[in-house]
């Protein structure tokens, strides 16, 4: 009876270790792909950031004026 309880408790531990290892490997893979995409498409990313800069400043000005009106 005690052996059965030990075996049942050992199964979730193994499953948990596998789950953590899988998530870690996936996380490292996604990080590597993210860094690779930034390095490869740096010029395109720079254009997107510069294109959004005007909209960001416009939104910041609108929020500042809304706060100042109060």
Task: Give the tens place of pLDDT for each residue, 12-58.
Answer: 688 888 999 999 999 999 999 999 999 999 999 999 999 999 999 99
pLDDT at 41: 93
pLDDT recorded at residue 5: 57
Share of the chain above pLDDT 90, in %: 70
| Helix and strand totals (H; E) in the chain | 2, 0
pLDDT the model gives residue 10 = 56
CB 45 within 8 A of CB 38: yes
pLDDT of residue 4: 60
Determine the pLDDT at residue 6.
Answer: 58
What backbone phi and psi angles, to 5 degrees, belong to 69?
-70, -25
How far apart CA 45 and CA 39 sit, in angstroms, is 9
**Integer angstrom CA distances of residue 18 from 21, 24, 27, 30, 67:** 5, 10, 14, 18, 51
- Spell out the domain ranges in the chain: 2-69
């Amino acid at each position: 009876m005690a052996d059965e309880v030990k075996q049942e408790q050992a199964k979730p531990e193994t499953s948990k270790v596998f789950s953590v290892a899988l998530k870690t490997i996936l996380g490292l893979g996604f990080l590597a792909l993210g860094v690779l995409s930034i390095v490869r498409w740096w010029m395109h990313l720079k254009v997107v950031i510069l294109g959004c800069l005007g909209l960001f400043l416009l939104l910041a000005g609108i929020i500042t004026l809304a706060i100042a009106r109060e």
